Amino acid sequence: MKLSCIAVDDEPLALGLVCAFIEKTPFLELKGQYSSAVEALQGLMAGPVDVIFLDIQMPDLTGLELARVLERSHRGAHTTRIIFTTAFDQFALDGFRVDALDYLLKPFNYEEFLRAASKARTYFDLIYRTEPSPVALPIATPGEAAEDYLFLKVEYQLVRIAYKDILYVEGLKDYVKVYRQMEPEKPLLSLTSLKALEDKLPPKQFMRVHRSFIVSLDRINAVTRNSVQIGSVMIPVSDQYKDVFSQFISRWL
């Protein structure tokens, strides 16, 4: 499978280099090249692409502004991923906030470009392998096991996390920390909301007990009226979730 791509950069030499790298890469297909984000936006109206190699500092409309426009206009539609190409490393955090797949700091060579492009290929391999059809939900055959994992974006990678490995999840504004049994002292940090992650977790295995915490029911060692204990960690139960939590406690009695 080839990934359709466009390149956007107001510097002719930089634009030519990215286009040459795309054409050199067997699993990429160059669909267009643009010297401004405005031109790219007009071109994308004809049809989406898989990957945009996007400069950040451009006149009229910056790469970050284009990324935000695409995020709003394509929500729930075709998944287009962005790889930023820029000479300014101070934009790395902003690129992460708009869910960029990767960040190439100029000047970069083909090896660095290929590493970023390979992340895009891995991402779309996972998406096409795991996403259900938008028309009809797949029907499980007898004896077929349900998915027991999720993919979470950590830095610029998609990390596969088995449900059975999760101890609990802590929400921190726009981020979540996922604590796992294998490395409880090294939680995975991901730019997503606790509500978004809650929607992905199976409710029979996980429970939200606080505005900032989701716990794995299988990992609970002890409970009180106002808290749960997982290992040596005590997690509070807030008033908002006490009714659901009380129903859970009743199973222990």
Lowest mean pLDDT among 40-44, 81-85, 222-226, 233-237: 222-226
Is residue 240 included in any domain, yes or no? yes
- Say how many residues make up the chain: 253
This prediction's pTM:
0.53
C-alpha 67/C-alpha 100 separation (Å) is 8
Spatial distance between the Cα atoms of 73 and 176, rounded to a whole number of angstroms: 25
Greater model confidence, 63 or 89: 63
For residues 83 and 160, state if they share a domain: no
* Tally of domains within the chain: 2
* 158 and 217 both lie in a single domain: yes
Q: Between 130 and 219, where is the model more confident? A: 219
Higher-confidence residue of 204 and 22: namely: 22
Residues 41 and 123 in one domain: yes
Question: What would the pLDDT profile of 82-126 be if each residue is shown by its tens digit?
Answer: 999 887 655 444 544 556 788 888 899 999 999 999 988 888 887
pLDDT tens, residue by residue, 2-46: 999 999 999 999 999 999 999 999 999 999 999 999 999 999 888
Asked, for residue 210, whether it belongs to a domain, the answer is: yes
At residue 135 the predicted structure's pLDDT band, cuts being 50, 70 and 90, is very low
Q: Does any domain span residue 138? A: no
**Domain assignment of residue 135, yes or no:** no
pLDDT for the residue 223: 87
In a domain, 56, yes or no: yes
Q: What is the mean pLDDT of residues 132-143?
A: 39
C-alpha gyration radius of the chain: 22
Would you give the DSSP letter of residue 89? G
Report the chain's terminal Cα–Cα distance, integer Å: 55
In contact, 207 and 199? CB cutoff 8 Å: no
Domain-located, residue 66: yes
Q: Where are the alpha helices (DSSP H) in 45-100?
A: 63-73, 92-97
- Residue 83 and residue 116 in contact, taking contact as beta carbons nearer than 8 Å: yes
* The predicted structure's pLDDT at residue 74: 54
Using an 8 Å Cβ cutoff, are 51 and 81 in contact?
yes
The range of the structural domain enclosing residue 182 comes to: 149-250
- Residue 238 is encoded by which pair of tokens? 């807030």
